[in-house]
Amino acid sequence: MQTAHRCIAAVIGVVLLAVMGLPANTAAADDRVPMGGGAGIVINGDTMCTLTTIGTDSAAELIGFTSAHCGGPGAQIAAEGATNRGTLGVMVAGNDPLDYAVIKFDPAKVAPLANYNGFVIAGVAPNPVFGQIACKQGRTTGNSCGVTWGTGQTPGTIVMQVCGRPGDSGAPVTVNNLLVGMIHGAFSDALPDCVVKYIPLHTPAVVMSFSAILADINSKKRPGAGFVPLPA
């Protein structure tokens, strides 16, 4: 009799969900932390940076990227505004010359997004050329766009007139919603930074080429090799 009652209750639950327009598998709320390119992250409890992108690698691991100068292998990653949820991932690899760090996220704790707060990453593109408009999304200065000036002096870098301040390190930079790089730092300390992000009278940003990052990580077969951003 108890089994029959449980079956009836389950059927009623499915019917109610159908009436409400909800699939049955959404009955339990998803309490994972939403994370995507442009999200603020906290490294080892005190360093603020920005998540570049999130997706999967050839080993089907949930992988993210940020700047290597934010932390090294073993560093603990939490979400800004949700540090009470604890560690969501760990840095597992990196490259200082190309200033990238690979984060392995816990899929039980993280809900990956291709569109984070309106900033869409629909794939990866080659380095942009002079004149193309690029946009970035950082946890400090939010969204800003500007012209691409060209290749930087350091291998793997691009110079762009986008806004970047402390905390924006690792911020994704896109052209036509395709990821081309991550914020590395300011082009010059002699010029003002972007106090007012919509006025482009500031030092350009140095951006690390994401194509160069992927080429490096794939050639070395590190964690993150074969990375593909979450489909938009």
Looking at domain 119-216, its CATH class is: mainly beta
186 within 8 A of 193, measured Cβ to Cβ: yes
Give the residue carrying structure tokens 């007139």. 161
Give the pLDDT confidence score for residue 187 in this predicted structure.
54
Distance of CA 92 to the CA centre of its chain: 16
Q: Look at residue 14 in the predicted model and tell me its pLDDT.
A: 44
Residue ranges in the chain whose pLDDT is less than 50: 1-28, 190
Q: What is the pLDDT of residues 56-79, one digit of tens each?
A: 999 999 999 999 999 999 999 999
Give the separation between CA 66 and CA 207, rounded to whole angstroms.
Answer: 12
Q: Would you identify the CATH topology of the domain 33-117?
A: Thrombin, subunit H (2.40.10)
Exposure of 71 by Cβ count < 10 A (0-12 exposed, 13-18 middle, 19+ buried)?
A: buried
pLDDT score of 232: 75
pLDDT on residue 185: 77
pLDDT 10s digits, 78-110: 999 999 999 999 999 999 999 999 999 999 999
Give me the pLDDT at residue 22, please: 46
**What is the structure's pLDDT at 213?**
97
How much is the pTM?
0.83
pLDDT at 153: 85
Burial class (CB in 10 A: 0-12, 13-18, 19+), 108: exposed
**Confidence (pLDDT) at 152:** 86
pLDDT at 37: 98
Positive or negative torsion for Cα 213, 217, 223, 224? positive
